[in-house]
Amino acid sequence: MKKRFTPSPNPKAVSLQLFIFISLLFVISYIAGGCTDNCEVESEYTYMEPVYTSVEDLRSSVDIIGPQEMKQAGKIFFKDNLLYINEPNEGIHVIDNADPSNPEAVAFIKVPGSFDLAVKGNVLFTDSYIDLVAIDISDLNAAEEIGRLEDIFDHYNSYGFYTDPQRGVVTDWQEVGSVKVFESDCEGGIQPWGGVYHDEGLALRSSASFDAALAVAPSNPGIGGSMARFALSGDYLYIIDMSDLQSVDVTQPTAMTMGTEVHVDWGIETIFPNGDVLFIGAQAGMHIMDISNPLNPSQISTYRHVTSCDPVIVDGDFAFVTLRSGTECQGFTNQLEVIDIADLSSPQLLHVYAMDNPHGLGKDGDALFVCDGDSGLKVYNASDVSTIDKNELAHYQDIQAFDVIPFNNVAMMIGEDGLYQYDYSDLNDIKLLSHIEVKTPDVND
């Protein structure tokens, strides 16, 4: 019998194979134990319990009061020289913006649980926790609720305790002590906001950044115009509710009616109307919806990207999308994408531009405005979408920029510390017109 030849093992090859094997074991054990590592006791966690308000009290709380200092800036909407700025969970500031260099606060509409808004004619639409509310603003000194669709936001109770038949709706959180958190208490691991849902409350790490005003909702709605979850098209209001698209006939605000609720995708965040089409930004992509049948939207196509927060705007044959990393999105991509949408059934990525942490964006003519988070507001000449990065016109640093509405040569930009307005009638000489400051409450007050 012929003897089989067996070569001697190469020591270097054996060492390399052993290193790879050990490395793979380490990676697998890290992944498998990732949740365990994140969920083990990290000393004591702060325990927060929900504060409930009865549904009856909430539904009788809409009120018009005089101008108030802005303590937190949220979504923005502009119409007929009036600028509406949401203060999350509190209501809506109304600003007379006929003279952008001298904006004047004229009223505050108190709406508990308001995070999003849209205005059609003399009617303002906003959410109030689980309801959609229509408010007559024809006389800002006597604004009043004229319509309400109750329990339209059924995802509000996604975590089980945000609404309760006896206690009402979660409207705040209060610290009641501390609690130890074990692996069995957090099957899904530590949440992006730095804690876990625990019993009927929240257990927070000491390092967690917690804002009770925003934490009343299971999903923080975010901020701003291009980041809106409300969109009007004709006589119809379209609303994003976590994973679903809702359509509402608002022809008669006193008797609003719902259309078909369409499941779109997990993590849908923003909505932008363009004719008979809606562009919906999601953490995993951009969805294009046909609304030619207004109360029965249908999906045309989806453009997929890496997991990341995703506002979108549209101009002609191009969609402009910003992707950012962040606590809610858990992604690592920060960029501006330009997508060819000439064929709505087959959107194609054309160009990608690096950004720092882009949020909202807006476009008027050739001027493209990008709110790049802590890096401030950036303005580009986007007449040639293939050279946007080479045509930066202005960069306003030292502000945290969230969203912007450019209209009629005035850019209305909302940031962490208030409203900034810029005159861009001359793109080579953009000027700051005004700033309304957010009066952040002193934590010691």
Domain boundaries, the chain: 43-55+157-221, 60-149
Rounded to whole angstroms, the Cα distance separating 72 from 416 reads 7
| Residue 144 predicted with pLDDT over 60 | yes
pLDDT tier for residue 227 given thresholds of 50, 70 and 90: low
Tell which CATH classification among 2.60.40, 2.40.10, 1.10.3470, 3.30.70 matches the domain 60-149: 2.40.10
pLDDT at 150: 94
Q: Average pLDDT over the chain, rounded to whole?
A: 83
| Residue 169 predicted with pLDDT over 60 | yes
pTM of the full structure: 0.84
Residue 58, CA atoms < 13 Å, CB-side half-sphere: 27
pLDDT at 328: 56
| Residue 10 predicted with pLDDT over 60 | no
pLDDT tier for residue 202 given thresholds of 50, 70 and 90: confident
| Residue 24 predicted with pLDDT over 50 | no
pLDDT tens sequence across 349-384:
999 999 998 999 999 999 999 999 899 999 999 999
pLDDT at 360: 92
pLDDT tens sequence across 368-425:
999 998 999 999 999 999 999 999 999 999 898 999 999 999 999 998 889 999 999 9
pLDDT at 268: 85
* More confidently predicted of 190 and 241: 241
| Residue 25 predicted with pLDDT over 60 | no
Stretch among 4-8, 88-92, 180-184, 340-344 having the lowest mean pLDDT: 4-8
* More confidently predicted of 71 and 226: 71
Q: CB–CB of 292/269 below 8 Å?
A: no
* More confidently predicted of 187 and 162: 162
Select the highest-mean-pLDDT range: 17-21, 187-191, 426-430.
Answer: 426-430
pLDDT tier for residue 223 given thresholds of 50, 70 and 90: very low
pLDDT tier for residue 193 given thresholds of 50, 70 and 90: low
| Residue 120 predicted with pLDDT over 90 | yes
pLDDT at 26: 36
pLDDT tens sequence across 256-315:
999 999 999 877 888 999 999 999 998 888 999 999 999 999 999 999 876 667 789 999
pLDDT tens sequence across 39-91:
555 567 888 898 999 999 999 999 999 999 999 888 899 999 999 999 989 99
